């Protein structure tokens, strides 16, 4: 017998039809795109600033009619091109995310690539907020059978929640730990934060749609609900444990082999 909370969640997420499931996934994706935009602003800001600083220094030298140091100029142009390439990669990643169909069939996927892909949209923001990212990836993990873009959303939702907890609670250590391992037929991913932990009275509610403790303009309360549904539809599970007063660890378990949807 499943616990009542699990039963209630399955009822909330049981798709009335393929169309309503598609609608649900589409809404979840739009919510994530909004979150990505915030991260993207930070991600692009740094290289844009670097390019601006270099260009301004070249202009200053031209204005002062200084003889141009050609080898140095060459080096600076190389840096500018590297920064532009970095931005192109990020933008291409966003494009890939937005064109991938929410209902593309699952395929064998490298989970580290998915976690790092999601991280790309928020890493600059985390760095800006001085949040330390610690990766404890198991070597030689087998591929998991999932829809990449859907799972990227899940990780991004979890990262955003961790970031919010770390910033809201003014904790002494701001750390996000990402851990992977293979256990029997599954891959496990842990997303652990030192954000103080989810308070006991709300632990039962966090997966409910529209449950949020955040200001209206900061959270819709759809992140975890959507993530729960997505992980489930990829044949996995999403659970969490709290270390009182220290932080929360979300655990995602995903199937390594082909998953036959019942």
What is the binding site for ligand ATP (CB under 6 A)? 157, 161-162, 165, 193, 195, 198, 202, 206, 211-214, 219-225, 248
Q: Which C-beta is closer to ligand ATP: that of 145 or that of 207?
A: 207
Our finding on whether 149 is near Mg ion (CB under 5 A) is: no
Kindly tell me the burial class for residue 218, based on how many C-beta atoms sit within 10 Å of its own C-beta (0-12, 13-18, 19 or more).
Answer: exposed
Beta carbons of 248 and 193 less than 8 angstroms apart: yes
Our finding on whether 223 is near Mg ion (CB under 5 A) is: yes
Quick one: what does residue 211 bind among Mg ion, ligand ATP, none, with the CB cut-off 5 to 8 Å set by partner type? ligand ATP
Listed residue (195, 210, 174) closest to 243, CA to CA: 195
Beta carbons of 251 and 154 less than 8 angstroms apart: no
What is the pattern of x (binds Mg ion, CB under 5 A) and - over residues 160-199?
A: -x--------------------------------------
> In the Cβ-directed half-sphere of 228, how many Cα atoms lie within 13 Å?
22
Q: Which C-beta is closer to Mg ion: that of 231 or that of 256?
A: 231
Least CB distance to ligand ATP at residue 120 (A): 19
Q: Which C-beta is closer to ligand ATP: that of 144 or that of 165?
A: 165
Least CB distance to ligand ATP at residue 226 (A): 8
Using Cβ positions, the residue closest to ligand ATP within the complex turns out to be 223
For residue 178, give the H/E element and its range.
strand 175-183
Listed residue (178, 33, 191, 152) closest to 98, CA to CA: 33
């Amino acid at each position: 017998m499943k616990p009542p909370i699990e039963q209630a969640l399955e009822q909330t997420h049981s798709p009335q039809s393929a169309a309503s499931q598609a609608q649900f996934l589409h809404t979840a994706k739009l919510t994530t795109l909004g979150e990505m935009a915030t991260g993207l602003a930070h991600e692009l800001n740094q290289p844009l600033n670097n390019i601006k600083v270099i260009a301004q220094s070249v202009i200053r030298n031209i204005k002062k009619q200084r003889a141009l140091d050609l080898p140095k100029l060459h080096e600076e142009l190389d840096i500018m091109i590297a920064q532009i390439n970095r931005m192109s990669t990020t933008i291409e990643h966003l494009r890939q995310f937005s064109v991938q169909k929410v209902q593309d069939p699952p395929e064998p996927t490298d989970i580290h690539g998915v976690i790092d892909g999601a991280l790309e949209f928020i890493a600059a923001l985390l760095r800006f907020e001085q949040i330390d990212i610690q990766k404890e990836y198991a070597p030689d993990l087998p591929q998991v059978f999932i829809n990449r873009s859907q799972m990227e959303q899940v990780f991004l939702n979890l990262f955003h929640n961790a970031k919010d907890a770390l910033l809201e609670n003014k904790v002494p250590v701001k750390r996000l730990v990402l851990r992977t391992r293979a256990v029997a037929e599954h891959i496990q991913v842990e997303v652990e934060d030192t954000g103080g932990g989810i308070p006991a009275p709300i632990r039962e509610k966090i997966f409910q749609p529209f449950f949020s403790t955040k200001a209206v303009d900061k959270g819709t309360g759809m992140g975890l609900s959507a993530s729960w549904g997505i992980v489930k539809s990829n044949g996995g599970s999403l659970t969490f444990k709290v270390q009182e007063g220290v932080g929360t660890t979300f655990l995602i378990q995903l199937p390594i082999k082909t998953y036959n949807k019942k």
